[in-house]
Amino acid sequence: MPAVAVLALVLAAPPSLSDLAWMAGSWQAEGPGPVSEEVWLPPAGDNMIGMWRLVADGKARVYEFLTLTQEAEGPVLRFRHFDRALVGWEEKDKPLVLPLVRQGAREAVFEGLASDGTRLRLHYRRPAEDRLAVTLLRGDQAQEFAFRLRP
């Protein structure tokens, strides 16, 4: 490898939370059906905090609490699921952990393993100023979420 390429690799800084500030906002799913909402607070210190909830037939069905923390290698997404009584789905010492594996302009991909060993990938995109698109890939099953920024 040429010395210039090696130097460029050494000098390249890891991604930072400020690169993900575009995720911040209060987002609501478009269209009829269950209420799906995701909220992200802007970066503060070494973290961002988010939540997601799903309400169907007038009742909360699932909550997620999400954090993005700045680690030496870059941002890491950690999250847990809870039922309507706030009983956690994952073991108390085992949140789902998905490091940032790719980022671009208003795009971020996090990838890791579920507690059962299934590959998880969360792909966030902001295709327009008032839109957030999220794709959850669990194994070979994809689920799409299309959100609009609340005023």
State the pTM of this model. Answer: 0.87
The 10 Å CB-count burial string (b at 16+, else e) for 10-37 is eeeeebebebbebbebebebeeeeeebe
Over the stretch 42-70, which tens digit does the pLDDT of each residue have? 999 999 999 999 999 999 999 999 999 99
Over the stretch 104-137, which tens digit does the pLDDT of each residue have? 999 999 999 988 899 999 999 999 999 999 999 9
Question: Partners of 133 in the beta sheet?
Answer: 125, 146
Cα(42)–Cα(110) distance, rounded to whole angstroms? Answer: 18
